[in-house]
Copies of this chain bind each other. A is one copy, B any other.
């Protein structure tokens, strides 16, 4: 029930990319402006790239940029890319768990929790 440093960093970096309009931004620049350890940030950016959220080019004049317009990328997209599925219980989706005895209604509670989380995270975009 907590937000990891990695997820926080990822969203911050994405927000920074969303704001920049002139060409690719270097990892070093992102690391500085958001005070994130450079090497760690680059691993995160790589994961974001593999999930199709950012694009990158190496070499001089290289850097990172968003693959989609900022209003098409939600916080949930970014968090899921680095942390995996949201609101899983014991590493499984809540609807796949069987509760017995007097704990039967608990499943509905966890599903409601996930729904409310999504309501926020999938509604807010980088824009």
Contacts and interface: CB of A to CB of B under 8 A. Distances in A.
Interface of A: 1-5, 7-8, 11-12, 15-16, 18-19, 33-35, 75, 79, 83, 86-91, 99-103, 105-106, 109-110, 112-113, 116-117, 119-121, 124
Contact of A117 (B90, B101, B113): B113
A126 to B, nearest CB: 9
What DSSP secondary structure best describes chain A's contact surface? helix
- Number of this chain's copies in the assembly equals 2
Given A3-B87, A16-B101, 9 more contacts: A2-B88, A5-B90, A8-B90, A15-B103, A15-B106, A19-B101, A33-B102, A34-B103, A116-B117
Top 3 closest pairs, chain A to chain B, by CB: A19-B102, A12-B103, A3-B89
